[in-house]
Each structure stands twice: as C-alpha cells, then as structure tokens.
Amino acid sequence: MVKFAVLGCGRISSLHLEAVEKAKDAHLVAVCDIIEEKAVKASEKYSVPYYLDLEAMLKAEKPEVVIIGTPSGMHCEHTVICANYGANVLCEKPIEITKEKIDKMIKVCHEKGVKLGGIYQRRIYSGAVSAKKAIEEGKLGKLVLCDGYFKYHRSQEYYDSGDWRGTWELDGGGALMNQCIHGIDMLMWLCGDIEAVTAKCATLTRNIEVEDTAIILAKFKNGALGVIEGATSVCEGEDTIFDINGELGSISLGDDCFYKWKLSDNSEPPAIEDSLGGKNCSWVGVWEGHTMLIQDMAECVLYDRNPAIPPQDARKAVDVILAIYESSKLNKEVIVNG
C-alpha cells in the first residue's frame, strides 16, 4: 500500500479523501489544513491524524504521495516543500497559475527525483475514451470544427466562501481558470493542441476581480477551428458540451450521454459505463475519476513509471487560458506559448 496524505481540507478534499479510500493500492495516513476546524473534521471522518503545518506532517508521517488541494496560487510553494521531503505530488487543477511557477514545480520535482501528476478526471471516463479512440482512428476524418460549451453557475456566496476565490493572486482567474479548465483540457486531449486564441472576457454578474463570462475563437495546430464559451454567470448550469465535427463524421457529448455519434463506419454510440464529469458541473461528489487517478499515482510509485497526466500535459490548459486573458486584454489574436 502506498501512503497518501491530503493537503487542504476544503471543498475538493471530500473527493480526494473518498477516492483514496476506494483506490486499492492507496492508504490514507494524514490530513493537513491551516484551518484547524477543517482538519479536525476530515481527521475524525477518516480516522487519521491531522496537522496544521505541512512540514510537520511530512516529517512525522513520511507520506509517499501528497495530494495538493490548496488554493491554486499556492500549488508551487507546497509542491516544492513536498519534493524537498521526497514526497511525490498529485496536484489539483490548475497545476499552477503562472508559467514561471509551473516551470519551477517541474524543475524541482525532476531534481529531487519525485513524480508530479495533474488531475483532469474527465479524461478517464469511458465516454471520453471512446470519443478519443474514434477521433484517433480517423472515423471523423480531418477535424474542422471543435467546440466546447462550458456554461456553469456559481453564486456570489460561492465566491464569498473563501477570500482566495475570484482573485488574480490565488485563483489565477475566474470561470476559465477554476471551472472551465477541465473542459479546455479535455477539448485539446480529444482534438489536439490549440495554437492561437482570440478572446473576450468580462465580469458581468459577480462581484469578483476576474472573469465570470468569456468567449474564445480557437485555432488548433491541426488546422481546425473552434469556439469556446465559458461562464459561471448563467442562471442555471448547463451540460458540459464537446461538439466535434470532421469531414467524415461528428461527435457531440455532454455530461451523461452522447448527443451525436455519426461516424464514417456507421457504428452505434458506445455505452457510457460511468460518468462524463458531473452533471452541469454541479457539486455531485463524483469521485470515480479521482479514484482512478489516485490508483494510477499509487502504481507510479510501486512500479516507477510516469503519471497518467504528467505536468507537461497538465500545464497545457493553463497556457491556453493565460493566452486567452492576454488576448482579451490586448484585443487581438495571441499565440499560445508553453
């Protein structure tokens, strides 16, 4: 069994803690949070010791993997501390909020000989895997239009629940960096990397310093074009939609089904055995994807292999979102640079 610890006992930690319990090769040894009430609650539920200081936990428990679920702009700081103690890291999205911090995380983990993995659980589900396989096998032909629609609802109370939410310093952005990053990652995982973006971001309904609404024209490296709509401002969350069109076929998938499956081989849409990510991006406690990624990290430790989502992959959506912010600010097309 690989010893896991969870850093950050806030909203997302409920999925991490449940997933560690379910992963067959993972064993939870401790939790840590600077807010004692949160740490105590997690400690009591899972019958493990709690800590208020990361280094104290690392010294005492010597976890082999630390799952980082702290505010986004603190991921680098915490990853570096873990790496210096020889702990591997599985990091929540976004892996960090600046290129410089991501570079530092990758460099330090490489130097210390520890593994660094990202969390994009949408990639793991059976429907997504089936769609990717069909695209890679050429059953859509040349891709021409690759669109993503990520229209979610987050209340003002949600943003007020933590002083880091909706800030440039620690959230790194708004709807795109915190919620829609999953969809942007998935869109590129399915359709290929984005080369350039032309975007408009706005804050229309929430009292935050970052965007709650955005629209983007994307140009993919393979020549395809696409539209991305992202928001936390709509009155009711809608399905996460990936609408992929090629010269020979089309696939459209949402949060729990395929809306369209028209391929060159006239095949029927495959059955979806699990989830596609959580209906309407709502908080439904879907932990299966996290369990698979935690089990994957346990196997990385046991068999000395790379994570399913290495940091070079985990950073791609961040690089795109940073280019989107620059495009909106400058009112022009911006090339995506990693």
Q: How far apart are CA 170 and CA 263, in angstroms?
A: 43
**Tokens representing residue 288 in the block:** 């299966």
Report whether the peptide linkage leading into residue 49 is cis, meaning its omega lies within 30 degrees of zero: no
pLDDT confidence tier of residue 284, bands split at 50, 70 and 90: low
Alpha carbon distance 316, 94 (integer Å): 10
Whether residue 209 contacts residue 153, with contact meaning beta carbons closer than 8 Å, is answered with no
Mean pLDDT of the region 221-231: 98
Question: Rounded CA gap, 111 and 83, in Å?
Answer: 9
Those residues whose C-beta lies under 8 Å from the C-beta of residue 44, and which sit 6 or more positions away, are none
C-alpha span between 257 and 113 (Å, rounded): 41
pTM for the whole structure: 0.95
The encoded tokens of residue 114 equal 């520890």
Residue 275: which pLDDT band, with cuts at 50, 70 and 90?
A: low
Query: CB-hemisphere CA count at 13 Å for 269?
Result: 19
Distance between CA atoms of 48 and 61, rounded to whole angstroms? 11
**CB–CB of 221/196 below 8 Å?**
no
Per-residue confidence (pLDDT) for residue 57, from 0 to 100: 98
pLDDT at residue number 321? 98
pLDDT on residue 265: 94
* pLDDT the model gives residue 271: 84
pLDDT in tens, 255-269: 888 999 999 999 999
Which of 108-112, 196-200, 280-284 is predicted least confidently?
Answer: 280-284
Give the strand order in the sheet containing 143-151.
258-262, 250-253, 240-246, 143-151, 225-231, 213-220, 194-202, 334-335
The residue ranges of every structural domain in the chain are 2-118, 122-279+316-335
| DSSP string computed for 260-321 | EEE-TT-PPPPP--S-SSSGGG------HHHHHHHHHHHHHHHHT---SS-HHHHTHHHHHH
Condensed to tens digits (0 to 9), the pLDDT of residues 154-201 reads 999 999 999 999 999 999 999 999 999 999 999 999 999 999 999 999
Task: Please give the CATH topology (third level) of the domain spanning 122-279+316-335.
Answer: Dihydrodipicolinate Reductase; domain 2 (3.30.360)
Query: Is pLDDT at 287 greater than 80 in this prediction?
Result: no
DSSP of 157-225, one letter per residue? HHHHTSTTTT-TTTT-SSIIIIIIHHHHHHHHHHH--EEEEEEEEE--SSSSSS-SEEEEEEEETTS-E
pLDDT digit string, tens, across residues 16-74: 999 999 999 999 999 999 999 999 999 999 999 999 999 999 999 999 999 999 999 99
* Dihedral sign for Cα atoms in the order 324, 199, 171, 6: negative
What CATH number is given for 2-118 in this structure?
3.40.50.720
Report the C-alpha gap between 178 and 232 in whole angstroms.
10
Which residue type, as a one-letter code, is found at position 111? Answer: E
Q: Distance between the two ends of the chain, CA-based, in angstroms? A: 36
- Provide the pairing of β-strand 143-151 with 225-231: parallel
Residue 283 pLDDT > 70: no
Q: How far is CA 142 from CA 15, 133, 251, 262, in A?
A: 38, 14, 13, 14
